[in-house]
Structure 1
Amino acid sequence: MLSNVATVLAGLIGAGCVFIGVLAFLAPQAAAGFGIPGTPTEDRGFRAWLTVKAMRDLGCGLFVFVLIAGATAHLLGWFMLAMTVIPVGDMVIVLRSKGPRATAYGVHGATAAVILVVSVLLLIA
């Protein structure tokens, strides 16, 4: 039961990553919500970096689905634990760029905490 609930939660996280990746790829101005002040979404060079971020998010989300389909809950849990590094890194980037602390902790920190909880549930299930 716990394994099923945690796997569904991991799937929701994967779907969220795919959604954010597609959104950032199709609408780079959405990057303003990331938390870095003065985000120049009209700059072609910066938009290229946004595409890198979009593909990172899309790839991570798809990888969650690959693991759900073909691996054990335990392996999915280890991947989710490793994936926690991404929102923690994003939080640090926002804080280092003097972005809003509410975004750093409320978006990126909360995302890291949720992924961490799901990974622990998968590892103990």
Structure 2
Amino acid sequence: MITTRRIATALSLIGAAFILYIGINYLIAPESIATGFGLPEWPTGDAAAFMNLKGVRDTVCGILLLALLALGQRFALGVVMVVVALIPIGDMTTVLAYDGSTAAAFGIHGFTALLVGITGLLLIRESVASAPTPA
């Protein structure tokens, strides 16, 4: 039986795996993944260290999501996911502000923000619905 809990768990795992994949790729092979971000140009030379920063940020986010899920902290995971949805919104607005790809801005970053936010809301809703009512 498909339940909100199973959907939220699956979306959480998929989201964590996806952001871990992105983060690790930015750390080990940024040149192969960076072009898909949507910006018209990437930093070169010493400025290319910013791709490493993105890799660290994304990897830590993935680990955080998995840790909260593994610890059964579903409400906290929901709150974190709603807040973390601001990261792809920031990425989307950055791509748009720097004349990057509109398709990547909305199709990658906007869609990611929507999925992460919905997953967070599902987790919060599930936790609130299953909370015991005070006597």
Tell me how far 1:38 sits from its aligned partner.
1.8
Q: Which residue is equivalent to 2:82?
A: 81
In structure 1, runs of 5+ residues without a counterpart are none
> 1:120 maps to what in 2?
121
Shift of 1:26: 1.1
Q: Report what 2:105 is aligned to.
A: 104
Q: Deviations over 1:45-82 (max 9, x none)?
A: 23211000000000000000100011421111001001
Cα distance in 1 for partners of 2:80, 2:103 equals: 27
Aligned to 2:5: 3
Mark the runs of 5 or more structure 2 residues left unpaired by the alignment. Answer: 127-135
1:22 alignment partner in structure 2: 24
The whole-number CA distance in structure 2 between the counterparts of 1:25 and 1:72 is: 28
Give me the whole-angstrom Cα distance separating, in 2, the residues matched to 1:77 and 1:16. Answer: 17
Q: Which of structure 1's runs of 4+ aligned residues deviate more than 6 A?
A: none
2:100 is paired with a residue whose SS is: coil
Tell whether the 8 Å contact from 2:88 to 2:110 is kept in structure 1 after alignment: yes
Larger of the two Rg values belongs to structure: 2
User: What TM-score, normalized to structure 2?
Assistant: 0.87
Question: Percent same amino acid at aligned positions?
Answer: 34
Aligned to 1:68: 69
